[in-house]
């Protein structure tokens, strides 16, 4: 088995350990606000309100302690209830409102999160449908699947957990801070010194956590891509006894994931206890310092001092006790903020990957010539119609406002075309092919000669570097891609069947086809015989790319799918390569009927299937080295003659 490339770089090739981009968080928030312009501000308001009420008890505690101290010193408790009970009632009311706001924002947050993820999945999938074929040829399918599973899940954690906690903890920290400086700037300075230590620790440990969580995110995508590749290739793996090599390759990928995950979680799991214990130490320090200052009757200064007209009093017990609780609340929420670093790092890493696929350049389509149903009047002039007539025409608008129509006949001209998948590495050199309506053109040659590439250019899966391709005299660059491909039927060597019934898979060729038309197409290509013998006939459910069918049966359904599309041009890319000789004879009869009056491009593995072609092109390393019909090429005694006489299959 070939050695797998397990580069430590992520799916976009970026170096691992990149720092978190604040712009990414800004983009997530912008999308959230645009998606929920009313509900999100309401939710934020509820979070802020509940956070402020969480800080409010410190004020009431200070006032109640001050009242009790005053009553104690005076010895008159007669009015204590009238003073204290209303404050307790107000506090209870605050807590009730806080509980209501928390319940409301959690419900709204659940709705916003799932709605946001739903929109993101829709945006990704819609964008993916507009990506060029090249994107899927150059990206692992398992990695693409990871966008919809792992990356979306990390984004869910970011939106549903990290961002609300970040906002809530930040509001509490700010609220408590202002309450602290209101009562005592000296005690606040002690708390700030402890928090400064927390920030230093958070920066050191949290930075390492973020770095490795980003690496972990990329390793997860790589692992999923590898597993998907191994699952789809199980038969090949077992046939060639490559189980041990696959285990070794998986161990390498899995080891990378393990190391990144271990380091990320080691940092993240150690951060919480360290911050919490710093908070505990700070609590003891505040109690000690407060006690010393209290006994020393040190003057106290805060914002409240300014409100009282600048009268400076001494530090009292009614300030120290609430300060202890506020310090716990302050450091506790600092700890909450630090704990969100790993979630934010993973969420933004997932968001970046999601935005990467959303930002991929869509397939460029500057075509303006479209395909329309046509009919002719008494004078033979082409008219556009909304009815399905079975006849088609190219609708060609011009700059002067006029519109001309060209009947779709299937005349394809490839004129001196050069092409390369990668710049400066050409795979086709000066290729010219002329296929007149109803002609059958065959391409033969060794693997990599450029046969399939030519058909990819006709479909405009890729655009040519030089030369021209004309369809009924129209440059295909002027034809809208969807209309161009609608006029072409294609049967690929690799068969793709979708989850659904056999009938649904045949109808995939033309979604408005009736059941009778689908069955007629199956009969035409010889698929009806085996389909009727399936457990539920045409209603038999297929799954896993039709794994319950043989390769030949799957290919027959794919051919029936092309038949029901009824296009004027057919491309058969090794269409019978997976069918045995006996089945091929059955299919060939149906295909001969299918190819009547159509322009057909055939790529064949068996030379016997191209004998009756009007023109046979022999390709070698991207060049056409011979062309002509079977008899001419045999008479020329060139490469085709040697292939034909040496073996009936082109290896």
- Give 386's pLDDT tier (boundaries 50, 70, 90): confident
Give the residue with greater pLDDT, 44 vs 547.
44
- Would you kindly state where each structural domain of the chain is located, as residue ranges? 22-358, 371-407, 412-646
For position 148, what pLDDT does the model report?
A: 87
Decide if pLDDT at 77 tops 60. Answer: yes
Higher pLDDT, 526 or 462: 462
DSSP H or E stretch at residue 108: helix 80-129
Give the CA count within 13 Å in the CB-facing half-sphere of 126: 6
Mean pLDDT of 47-52: 88
Q: Tell me how far apart the alpha carbons of residues 577 and 606 are, in angstroms, rounded to a whole number.
A: 8
507-525 per-position pLDDT tens digit: 988 888 899 999 998 988 8
Is 535:497 a contact under the CB 8 Å cutoff? no
pLDDT exceeds cutoff 80 at 68: no
Indicate if the pLDDT at residue 73 is higher than 70. no
For 500-544, give the DSSP string: EEHHHHHHTT-TT--HHHHHHHHHHTT-HHHHHTSTTGGG-EE-T
pLDDT at 20 over 70: no
Rounded Cα distance between 600 and 433, Å, is: 12
Q: What local confidence, expressed as pLDDT, does residue 2 receive? A: 39
- The CATH number of the structural domain formed by 22-358 is 1.20.1560.10
| pLDDT at position 204 over 80 | no
pLDDT: is 292 or 470 the higher one? 470
Task: Give 624-636 as a DSSP string.
Answer: EEEEE-HHHHHHH
Rounded CA-CA distance 626/633 in Å is 8
pLDDT for the residue 9? 39
pLDDT at 649: 47
The string of pLDDT tens digits covering residues 569-626 is: 988 887 666 666 676 676 677 677 777 778 999 887 667 678 888 999 999 989 999 9
Strand partners of residue 358: none
CB 414 within 8 A of CB 433: yes
- Long-range Cβ pairs for the range 555-558 (8 Å, 24+): 555/491, 555/495, 555/579, 556/522, 556/525, 556/526, 556/527, 556/530, 556/583, 556/587, 557/495, 557/497, 557/502, 557/505, 557/506, 557/522, 557/527, 557/531, 558/491, 558/492, 558/495, 558/496, 558/497
Mean pLDDT, all residues of the chain: 82
Using one digit for the tens of pLDDT, what is the confidence trace for 265-285? 777 777 777 777 887 888 888
- Say how many C-beta atoms besides its own lie within 10 A of residue 581's C-beta: 9
Q: State the number of CA atoms in the 13 A half-sphere of 513 facing the CB.
A: 24
| C-alpha–C-alpha distance, residues 564 and 350, integer Å | 42
Q: Extract the tokens encoding 87.
A: 């404050």
pLDDT digit string (tens) for 115-160?
999 999 999 998 888 888 888 888 877 778 888 888 898 899 999 9
CATH classification (class only), 412-646 = alpha beta
**pLDDT above 90 (res 472):** yes
Residue 401 has a pLDDT of 87
The CA-atom distances, in angstroms, between 126 and each of 27, 190, 382, 584 are 19, 55, 36, 39
Query: Order of strands across the sheet with 569-573?
Result: 488-491, 569-573, 599-603, 440-445, 615-620, 623-628
- Residue 206: what pLDDT? 62
The distance from CA 23 to its chain's CA centroid, rounded to whole angstroms, is 20
Average pLDDT over residues 415-442: 90
Confidence bin at 239 (pLDDT 50/70/90)? low
Bridge partners for 165 per DSSP:
none
């Amino acid at each position: 088995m070939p050695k797998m490339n397990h580069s430590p770089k992520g799916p976009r090739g970026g170096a691992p350990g990149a720092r978190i981009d604040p712009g990414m968080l800004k983009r997530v928030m912008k999308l959230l606000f645009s998606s929920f312009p009313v509900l999100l501000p309401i939710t934020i308001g509820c979070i802020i309100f509940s956070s402020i009420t969480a800080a409010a008890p410190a004020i009431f505690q200070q006032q109640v302690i001050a009242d009790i101290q005053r009553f104690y010193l005076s010895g008159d408790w007669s009015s204590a209830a009238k003073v204290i009970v209303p404050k307790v009632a107000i506090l209870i009311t605050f807590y009730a409102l806080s509980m209501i706001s928390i319940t409301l924002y959690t419900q709204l947050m659940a709705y916003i999160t799932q709605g946001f993820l739903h929109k993101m999945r829709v945006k990704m999938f819609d964008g993916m449908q507009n990506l060029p074929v090249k994107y899927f040829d150059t990206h692992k399918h398992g990695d693409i699947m990871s966008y919809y599973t792992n990356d979306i899940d990390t984004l869910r954690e970011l939106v549903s957990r990290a961002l609300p906690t970040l906002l809530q903890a930040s509001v509490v920290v700010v609220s408590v801070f202002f309450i602290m400086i209101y009562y005592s700037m000296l005690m606040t300075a002690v708390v700030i010194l402890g928090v400064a230590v927390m920030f230093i620790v958070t920066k050191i440990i949290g930075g390492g956590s973020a770095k490795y969580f980003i690496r972990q995110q990329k390793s997860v995508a790589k692992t999923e891509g590898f597993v998907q590749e191994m699952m789809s290739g199980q038969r090949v793996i077992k046939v060639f006894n490559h189980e041990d090599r696959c285990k070794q390759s998986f161990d390498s990928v899995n080891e990378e994931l393990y190391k990144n995950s271990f380091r990320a979680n080691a940092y993240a799991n150690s951060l919480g206890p360290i911050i919490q214990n710093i908070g505990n130490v700070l609590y003891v320090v505040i109690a000690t310092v407060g006690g010393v200052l209290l006994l020393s009757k040190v003057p106290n200064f805060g914002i409240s001092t300014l409100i009282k007209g600048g009268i400076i009093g001494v530090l009292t017990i009614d300030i120290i006790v609430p300060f202890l609780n506020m310090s716990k609340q302050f450091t506790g929420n600092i700890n909450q903020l630090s704990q969100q670093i790993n979630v934010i790092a993973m969420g933004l890493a997932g968001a970046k990957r999601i935005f990467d696929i959303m930002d991929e350049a869509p397939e460029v389509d500057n075509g303006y010539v479209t395909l329309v149903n046509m009919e002719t009047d008494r004078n033979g002039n082409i008219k556009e119609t909304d009815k399905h007539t079975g006849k088609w025409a190219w609708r060609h608008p011009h700059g002067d406002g006029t519109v001309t129509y060209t009947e779709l006949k299937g005349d394809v001209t490839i004129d001196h075309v050069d092409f390369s998948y990668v710049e400066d590495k050409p795979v086709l050199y000066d290729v010219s092919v002329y296929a007149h309506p109803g002609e059958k053109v065959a391409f033969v040659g060794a693997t990599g000669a450029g046969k399939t590439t030519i058909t990819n250019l006709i479909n405009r899966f890729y655009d040519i570097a030089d030369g021209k391709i004309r369809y009924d005299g129209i440059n295909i660059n002027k034809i809208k891609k969807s209309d161009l491909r609608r006029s072409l039927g294609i049967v690929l060597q690799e068969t793709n069947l979708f989850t659904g019934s056999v009938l649904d898979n045949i109808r995939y060729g033309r979604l408005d086809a009736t059941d009778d038309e689908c069955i007629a197409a199956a009969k035409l290509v010889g698929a009806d015989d085996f389909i009727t013998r399936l457990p539920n006939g045409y209603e038999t459910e297929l799954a896993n790319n039709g794994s319950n069918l043989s390769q030949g049966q799957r290919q027959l359904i794919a051919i029936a799918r092309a038949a029901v599309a009824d296009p004027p041009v057919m491309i058969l890319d090794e269409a019978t390569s997976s069918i045995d000789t006996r089945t091929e004879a059955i299919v060939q009869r149906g295909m001969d009927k299918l190819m009547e009056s159509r322009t057909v491009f055939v790529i064949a593995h068996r030379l016997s299937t191209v004998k009756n072609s009007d023109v046979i092109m022999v390709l070698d390393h991207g060049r056409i080295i011979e062309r002509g019909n079977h008899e001419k090429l045999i008479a020329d005694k060139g490469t085709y003659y040697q292939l034909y006489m040496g073996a009936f299959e082109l290896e």
